[in-house]
């Protein structure tokens, strides 16, 4: 944390040189110790030493999600035993979840990066915070040690947004007023829905010092709604399970500062790096996870670069916009709502063998589960039953589910894949 707190204010050129130097280091390491990259580079006649400029990277292969799904063992460094590593999986917001490993050292640098970015809004370790989150695995375990840690250090009030019920919203709003957190961290769409309900019912909300939205795309309309409802500034954050925090807004809110000491971010379009202000695909390299390097990983989102320097004094590069991760709320037969981002964790991440999955809703209480199975993988009755059980757990027993098995799931006209699509209007 001390290193990251200091380095964020280095001149932009110095930070770019640091990031590029670390990129060259991870390329050399991966070539020497990771079978997947050795084979991929050799197949193209490439050597890490060929990367002397940003432009040189274009010749190197893109790491796709299916590469990780199909070659995870070949992607782990020979210098690490799997038993020493931490295993995690994505929620599958692109409809294709993956499992991956990282070292304990990387675990700590990810935590440090998160707290450095929390500091952008003056959220420090020990400050009270409220978290509106839908990924149940991120919620604290109900064990004595975790309860004591939360009471003394984390001081966080959690609200599980997996299933929205009006009474739960009212109760949590009352809890916020009693707990008085300094910061609120929330799924963007979930907090917008929370705000809509409070406004519709004319309920006085709690007003924190700052609000951080993440996990879902923050639209300008939802930013205005949240700020007007809670009377606090909203700071957008972009992150992923694979990399933790990627970029965050500072108090100037003029773009999102990239965690460039730990991540090398490219934005590509038509095989080239984009110009400032031009939107393209995000390609990310983890500079600090040597256990299982993710090099030039296509994360499945789009963005653009901001121009000039930020007046906050940080030299970290900035993203001016994040496109993608558009998820819609799904409506159960009894009227309860659940975000598609939540169901990615509850359903798809638990059945990565299914391949790509998309949920569509055109009628309240009825879900179409569209599945493009992985090549050579058969969908078993227990898979269907698992999906049915999960849908009904989050959207109620009366919710019907229909299966549509297809060879591929089409992208939107924007080029983005949407995990959940709904034409059913929100209740509030």
Q: What is the pLDDT of residues 39-52, one digit of tens each?
A: 999 999 999 999 99
Give the chain's mean pLDDT. Answer: 88
1-325 topology per CATH:
Rossmann fold (3.40.50)
pLDDT value for 326: 47
Comparison of pLDDT for 161 and 168, the residue scoring more: 168
Least reliable range by pLDDT among 11-15, 207-211, 322-326: 322-326
Q: Over 90: is that where the pLDDT of 257 sits?
A: yes
pLDDT in tens, 377-409: 777 788 889 889 988 988 899 999 999 999 888
Quote the pTM value.
0.81
Q: Give dist(CA 373, CA 255) in Å, integer.
A: 38
Please count the helices (runs of H) and the strands (runs of E) in the chain. Answer: 11, 20
Which pLDDT value is given to residue 140? Answer: 60
CATH 3.40.50.12780-classified regions of the chain: 1-325
Given a cut of 60, whether residue 69 has pLDDT beyond it is: yes
Please report the pLDDT score of residue 15 as a whole number.
Answer: 97
Q: How do the residues of the chain divide into helix, strand and coil, expressed in percent and rounded to 5?
A: 35, 25, 40
Contact 402, 369 (CB under 8 A): yes
Q: Are 358 and 420 in contact (CB under 8 A)?
A: yes
pLDDT tens, position by position, 136-145: 555 666 677 7
The b/e string for 297-310 (b: 16+ C-beta within 10 A; e otherwise) is bbbbbbbbbbeeeb
pLDDT at res. 413: 52
Fold of 329-422: GMP Synthetase; Chain A, domain 3 (3.30.300)
Domain with CATH 3.30.300.30 in the chain: 329-422
């Amino acid at each position: 944390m001390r290193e990251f707190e200091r380095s964020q204010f280095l001149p932009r050129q110095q930070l770019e040189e640091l990031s590029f130097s670390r990129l060259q280091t991870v390329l050399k390491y991966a070539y020497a110790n990771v079978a997947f990259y050795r084979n991929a580079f050799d197949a193209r006649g490439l050597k890490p030493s060929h990367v002397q400029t940003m432009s040189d990277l274009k010749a190197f292969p893109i790491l796709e999600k299916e590469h990780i799904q199909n070659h995870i063992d070949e992607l782990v460094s020979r210098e690490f035993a799997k038993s020493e590593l931490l295993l995690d999986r994505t929620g599958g917001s692109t409809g294709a979840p993956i499992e991956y490993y990282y070292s304990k050292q990387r675990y700590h640098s990810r935590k440090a990066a998160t707290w450095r970015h929390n500091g952008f809004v003056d959220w420090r370790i020990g400050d009270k915070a409220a978290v509106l989150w839908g990924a149940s695995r991120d919620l604290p375990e109900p064990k004595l040690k975790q309860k004591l840690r939360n009471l003394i250090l984390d001081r966080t009030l959690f609200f599980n947004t997996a299933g929205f019920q009006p009474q739960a919203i009212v109760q949590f709003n009352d809890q916020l007023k009693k707990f008085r957190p300094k910061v609120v961290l929330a799924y963007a769409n979930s907090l917008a829905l929370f705000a809509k309900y409070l406004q519709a019912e004319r309920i006085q909300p709690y007003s924190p010092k700052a609000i951080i939205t993440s996990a879902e795309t923050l639209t300008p309309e939802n930013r205005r709604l949240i700020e007007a409802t809670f009377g606090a500034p909203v700071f957008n954050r972009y992150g992923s399970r694979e990399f933790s925090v990627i970029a965050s807004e500072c108090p100037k809110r003029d773009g999102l500062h990239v965690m460039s000491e730990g991540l090398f971010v490219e934005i590509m379009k038509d095989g080239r790096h984009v110009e400032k202000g031009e939107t393209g695909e995000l390609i990310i390299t983890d500079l600090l996870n040597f256990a299982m390097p993710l090099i030039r990983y296509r994360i499945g989102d789009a963005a653009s670069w901001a121009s000039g320097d930020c007046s906050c004094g940080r030299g970290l590069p900035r993203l001016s916009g994040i496109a993608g991760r558009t998820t819609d709320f799904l409506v159960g037969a009894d009227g309860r709502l659940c975000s598609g981002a939540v169901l990615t964790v509850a359903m798809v991440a638990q059945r990565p063998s299914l391949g790509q999955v998309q949920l569509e809703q055109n009628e309240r209480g009825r879900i179409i589960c569209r599945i493009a199975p992985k090549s050579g993988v058969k969908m078993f009755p227990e898979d269907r039953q698992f999906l049915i059980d999960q849908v009904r757990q989050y959207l109620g027993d009366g919710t019907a589910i229909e299966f549509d098995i297809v060879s591929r799931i089409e992208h939107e006209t924007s080029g983005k894949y949407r995990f959940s699509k709904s034409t059913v209007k929100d209740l509030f």
